[in-house]
Structures are given as structure tokens and as C-alpha cells.
Amino acid sequence: MSLEGRCVLITGGASGIGLELTRTFVARGVRVLVMDRDPKAPEAVRDLENVVVASGSVTEPADVKAAFDLAESSFGPVDVVFANAGISQNCPTLDLDLEGWRRVMSVNLDGVFLTVQEAGRRMIPRGQGRIILTSSIYGVVAAPERLGYVVSKSGVSAMTKALAVEWAQHGIRVNAIAPGYVRTPFVEDLQARGRLDIGALEKRTPIGRLIETHEVAEVATFLASDASGPMTGQIVGVDGGWTAYGYV
């Protein structure tokens, strides 16, 4: 599973799951380009060795291209792309206005499309590459009051399969990770504000706890490595059994 010396581009890599991905890849000897919309990315990212930060939005084609250009000028060709940037959305469907709908589609679906399209432009001429997308349990199963999120993440899952089939002939593998509820500062803040019941989520999860960020990152490094061999077009659940559990 050695990844040493490779170049990885991660969108949304400065916080939450993305930050853990960045740290884990760096620990494996990987050179990382972090693309994040926050122009003042946390020092936790900027202080890491072999990390370059590109400020920009995944919804802007020029920003995405600039991030790839910076990665190549800093480290050489990008070997692995992790389209991780995304936003959540939780509200009753009748309260969801067109602006809110378009925003979640823009980041979660358009942003992923622009990222993987730019990756394909760089990887196809080289005849090799690894692309990983962040889907969700709600890209596999549904939940109420999350219409935009469910539709966008389902689109990410479908995109994974379509690209895997189309680009396999070019030596490019495309897979997605579908995390369950992951313990992040964002989730813990929702709990503190009374907007989320972590105890109820843990009870609903067969393994009896939330997923840890390092567990998602370990699966990511596996998919990025040669150890995952012929795996392509797969939506890999990291959810503690959430999507398998159908008993009430």
C-alpha cells in the first residue's frame, strides 16, 4: 500500500474529514495539494510538510484548473484526486427554495464534476490515475428533509460508476467513499446546539458509535494505492453498518 512520493489533490482538505485525509496522506509520504474555499486555511494544514494550499471554489472552473496547475508546478503530475468538497443541507422540502437547491447542487454535484473532469484531462494522456469521490450514506439510501443532499450525493454515486466504466480503458480507476455519521467538529457543534442527537445516531448504527475521521482516511489510502487493484466503480460504505440495517 505504499504511496510514498505520489502527488494527491484533495478538495475541501482543510477541515473535517478532508483535514484528516490530508494528514494521513502526508504521513504516508505523499505530497498534497489542498484546495479549499477558505483563503486562510488552518495552520494545521499550512504547517504540514509537503503540502501546498490553493484557495478557490470547486464551483469555478478557473479555480479548479488553477489548483491542478499549482499541484503540477509544485510536485509534478497528479496521481490521485480526491473530490471531497461538499456541503450539507437539512430542511423540509416545502421550505427548500430554488436558491438553496441550486447551492447544494452547485457544490456537491457541479463541483465534483468540474474536479473529476479536470482530473481526466490530465490523467487520460498519461494513461493512469486514481480518482476518489466523497458520496454519503445518503447517496445510497434516503432520509426525509434532505432532498437536495440526497439527490446530489446519489448523483455523485452514479457519477462514480459512469466514469469508472468510461475511463477504465485509460488506466484510471474511479471509486467513492460513502461515510456514515462521522465525528467531526461540525457534528459536535450541531450536538452542542441541540440540532443533532449523537446518542440516537450511535444507537441507530449497528457498531454502536460514530465513525472516526481516521477510519475514513484509511479507506481512502487503500483506494488510492495499488493494493485496491481492480476495484473501480465501487461505492465503499464506511458507515458502521448503517445502510445494511433495515430493522426497526
* Distance separating alpha carbons of residues 183 and 204, to the nearest angstrom: 15
Annotated catalytic residues are: 149
CB 121 within 8 A of CB 50: no
Cell numbers representing residue 196 in the block: 443533532
Type of residue found at 31: R
Cα 16 to Cα 117: distance, rounded to the nearest angstrom: 24
Residue 133: its H or E element? strand 129-134
Give the span between the Cα atoms of 94 and 83, in whole angstroms.
30
Block residue for cell numbers 484533495: 10
Instruction: Give 200: exposed, middle or buried? Use CB within 10 Å, 0-12, 13-18, 19+.
Output: exposed
Helix (H) or strand (E) holding 183: strand 182-183
- Find the distance separating the first CA and the last CA of the chain, reported in whole Å: 39
